[in-house]
Structure 1
Amino acid sequence: MFELTLIGIGTGNSDHVTLQGAQAIRDADLILIPRKGENKADLAGLREDIISRVVEEAPEIAYFDIPKRRADDGYLRGVDEWHDAIAERWQTAIATHAGARKIALLIWGDPSLYDSALRIAARLNPRPVTRVIPGITALQALTAAHAIPINDIGAPFVVTTGRRIRDEGWPAAATKVAVMLDGECSFQNLEMADYFIWWGAYVGMNEEVLIRGPLAEVSDEILTTRSKARADHGWIMDIYLLEKLEP
């Protein structure tokens, strides 16, 4: 039996790691680090940098390759099979360090918001004792970068994905919607004249890019900026908040 700790590390800025998170890194016998292909090699490097900043002597590190997700048999089934495959990679990496009893993963953002680490951990056999160290989410980093509150006074907001905006449109009765995991800039499917957007990429990092304004006026700028940033870095993580304008 081993303990698995999921440590939220914010959006890539080592200053986002809490004191609790730093201590959990120091306590770990083994840290698992994913590799997502050559174009995203610096994602592993960012994790390595965070580890080096909080420990004098790094713990054992086991790297594993993220398998590709199938998209030919339905979204939910594809995700479920993908999680099974990732759990197998974790299991293999852990097995090569049989003496490790405190194992950690550094989770981008926070393990509780649009992250699957907890679901993958539940697939391990034997099932570990799992604890979570909260982190700064991309949503928090976005609103901080733009210096805005996410909600209107006494009003709710919706957090959703680009896929749902693309397939279902604007959520009913929502006035503000935060959109995550959107590789297609799904705001293009909306009536853009009706919305205001706060957009950010690499939020909280040195590469941070921010754009805000009426969606119809800044959408082309976002598309161009996003495309160039992805080409420059080989990867991109972005998020945006939309507000429905009064008629």
Structure 2
Amino acid sequence: MIDTLWLIGIGTGSPAHVTGEGMAAIRDASVILMPHKGQGKDDLAELRHRIIKASGSEAEIVPFDYPLRDENLPYLERVESWHDEIAKRWHAASDKNTPPGPVALLVWGDPSLYDSTLRIAQRLVPKPEIRVFPGVTSIQALTAAHAIPLNDINGPIHITTGRRLRDEGWPEGVERVVVMLDGEAGFQQFQSEDMMIWWGAYLGMQEQILDRGHISEAAERIVATRKEARARHGWIMDTYLLSRNA
């Protein structure tokens, strides 16, 4: 049973992204649950192990396999069912004669931004005491890598997903949009507009790839880069910023 759950943001690929507070939490945790996300994503687990080693932690590391989503279900039902199963696997992993004390999960990026770890934690019964240790987000890593500000002077910023961008188009009332979780390169729909894109994949990792430019000349190049990188690594995480006020 999980009495105390620590959700520790570990940034987007660099051990240096973990805050001092996060490192102390990793060091003080009794158990660290280690997700295995399937073939081709072993480098994600390897990064977590490097961070744990750097912290000086002596926690018991308990692996668990991530379930697959049921693609036959409608989207929201599919996600709900998936989250239920993940929560069950957390419980099963932490019940295997693990030592008492805080159970930790190392969360890619930050637990508060387009991440469902907190929602999954609410499914645990009985509900544990939850503490969050924030980490560097992919948005921060993207703007830092390109050395650009996130917003225009006194300007709003809109953060959305690739799915919503494709289904709903450009959000009203904003000049800049950050897009996350876009497996379909939704920026291609704006190739006819005078718009800038700042794109990055594997942000913070040694494999980091960056590109920038006007959509009309950069879109095709970024799509080709994504395809090649996914084939080489077996997975890809990327984020981008679009601006109509270039």
C-alpha displacement of 1:191 = 4.5
Q: Verify: 1:175 aligned to 2:139, yes or no.
A: no
For residues 179-218 of structure 1, the C-alpha deviation after alignment (integer angstroms, 9 at most, x for no partner) is 0001110112234433210000011111111100001101
Give the distance between the partners of 1:15 and 1:192, measured in 2 at CA: 39
Which structure 1 segments of 5+ residues have no match? Answer: none
C-alpha displacement of 1:230 = 1.2
User: Per the alignment, in what secondary structure is the counterpart of residue 231 of structure 1?
Assistant: helix
Query: What's the counterpart of residue 139 of structure 2?
Result: 139
Q: CA RMSD in A?
A: 1.3
C-alpha displacement of 1:173 = 1.6
TM-score (norm 2): 0.96
Give the distance between the partners of 1:217 and 1:47, measured in 2 at CA: 37
Query: What's the counterpart of residue 130 of structure 2?
Result: 130
Is the contact made by 2:176 and 2:245 (CA closer than 8 Å) also made in structure 1? Answer: no
C-alpha displacement of 1:100 = 2.7
Give identity over the alignment, percent: 55
**Which moved further from structure 2: 38-47 or 184-193?**
184-193
C-alpha displacement of 1:33 = 1.0
Give the distance between the partners of 2:125 and 2:98, measured in 1 at CA: 14
The one-letter code of the counterpart of 1:47 is: R
Give the distance between the partners of 1:53 and 1:99, measured in 2 at CA: 22
C-alpha displacement of 1:6 = 0.3
Give the distance between the partners of 1:46 and 1:229, measured in 2 at CA: 18
TM-score (norm 1): 0.96
Which structure 2 segments of 5+ residues have no match? Answer: none
Query: What's the counterpart of residue 77 of structure 2?
Result: 77
Query: What's the counterpart of residue 116 of structure 2?
Result: 116
C-alpha displacement of 1:242 = 0.2
User: Per the alignment, in what secondary structure is the counterpart of residue 41 of structure 2?
Assistant: helix
Is the contact made by 1:169 and 1:190 (CA closer than 8 Å) also made in structure 2? Answer: no
Q: Say how many residue pairs are matched.
A: 245
Query: What's the counterpart of residue 27 of structure 1?
Result: 28
Q: Verify: 1:68 aligned to 2:68, yes or no.
A: yes
Is the contact made by 1:4 and 1:129 (CA closer than 8 Å) also made in structure 2? Answer: yes
For residues 93-140 of structure 1, the C-alpha deviation after alignment (integer angstroms, 9 at most, x for no partner) is 011134332100000000000000111011111111000000000000
